[in-house]
Amino acid sequence: MTFRTYNGNTHTENGWRICNSDQCVTLWYAGKPVLVRDGHATTVLKWWIDWYNANVEPIKSQIWGWSATNDVPGTPGRNDGSNHLSGTGIDLNAPWHPWTVDASRNFTPGQIAAIRRGLALAEGNLFWGQDWGRKDPMHFQLNDGTASGNGASAKLAAFAQKIREGKVGSGGTAQPPSPSTSRPTLRRGSTGSDVNYLQSLFNRAYPAYSKLVVDGDFGPATESVVREFQRRAGLGVDGIAGPATWSKLGVK
């Protein structure tokens, strides 16, 4: 059970510790192995793969999970690299859902609705790469806020327990699906996980001008990236991430 540093970082974008393969469990889908982070992370990711397989489309190719290296290594010291490095990201049916291509091009509306319904069941513990500015519709991951120390947060552990008790996705105790998650308006002085999300989103989608420290603190640097984005996107430049800015970022 060992951890490591990759490209100057100890953690990935969602806060999980970067690990070696001995921190992972091997699952088998489509006759091929996939490594995912052990413990509660395995429970939740396996639940999602099974749910996706049953409700969205069959798993038809090898799932990509934990990886030792990644094309999104993160910036040294910023802990903003790919969550595959911590075994908390998975790519489903990758050949059919290429990186940077919007989900509407390779999923039916019904499939997209099914994914949204499933994500709504996950109580904020799962994130879909489609919701990044640079679309990654094959990609799902444990959300920011699901890690604590070197392992799972209490929130993730509680959700994993519900899965083990068969209380998720049964329709009996689940929340009704919400059509979209709305993001709050963020401005100078805002703090918290939505700011973390915004900072990671900018770094990932617009690395040419966004090299923010992902600290959940909306300060002058974050404001200046928002302004740059707004200027390039033809929005009113006010440095405030409101509905128009979120929408241009591709986040509903």
Binding region for Zn ion (CB under 5 A): 89, 91, 139
**Given the structure tokens 């929130």, which residue do they identify?**
155
**Given the structure tokens 């959300």, which residue do they identify?**
143
Are the CB atoms for 183 and 66 separated by under 8 Å? no
Closer CB to Zn ion, 88 or 153, in the complex: 88
| Closest distance of CB 169 from Zn ion, Å | 23
| Closest distance of CB 152 from Zn ion, Å | 20
How many CB atoms sit inside 10 A of residue 154's CB? 10
Closer CB to Zn ion, 63 or 147, in the complex: 63
Mention every residue, 6+ apart, whose C-beta is less than 8 A from residue 248: 229, 233, 235
| Distance, CA of 9 to chain centre | 18
Are the CB atoms for 174 and 168 separated by under 8 Å? yes
Q: For residues 229 and 17, what is the distance between their CA atoms, to the nearest angstrom? A: 30
| Closest distance of CB 67 from Zn ion, Å | 9
Kindly state the tokens that stand for 65.
Answer: 């999970």
Mention every residue, 6+ apart, whose C-beta is less than 8 A from residue 161: none
Closer CB to Zn ion, 72 or 212, in the complex: 72
| Closest distance of CB 136 from Zn ion, Å | 6
Dihedral sign from CA coordinates of 188, 190, 192, 193: negative
Q: For residues 48 and 57, what is the distance between their CA atoms, to the nearest angstrom? A: 12
Closer CB to Zn ion, 46 or 139, in the complex: 139
Closer CB to Zn ion, 34 or 195, in the complex: 34
| Closest distance of CB 172 from Zn ion, Å | 32
| Closest distance of CB 139 from Zn ion, Å | 3
Closer CB to Zn ion, 71 or 110, in the complex: 71
| Closest distance of CB 141 from Zn ion, Å | 7
Mention every residue, 6+ apart, whose C-beta is less than 8 A from residue 162: 168, 173
Closer CB to Zn ion, 91 or 194, in the complex: 91
Q: For residues 137 and 97, what is the distance between their CA atoms, to the nearest angstrom? A: 6
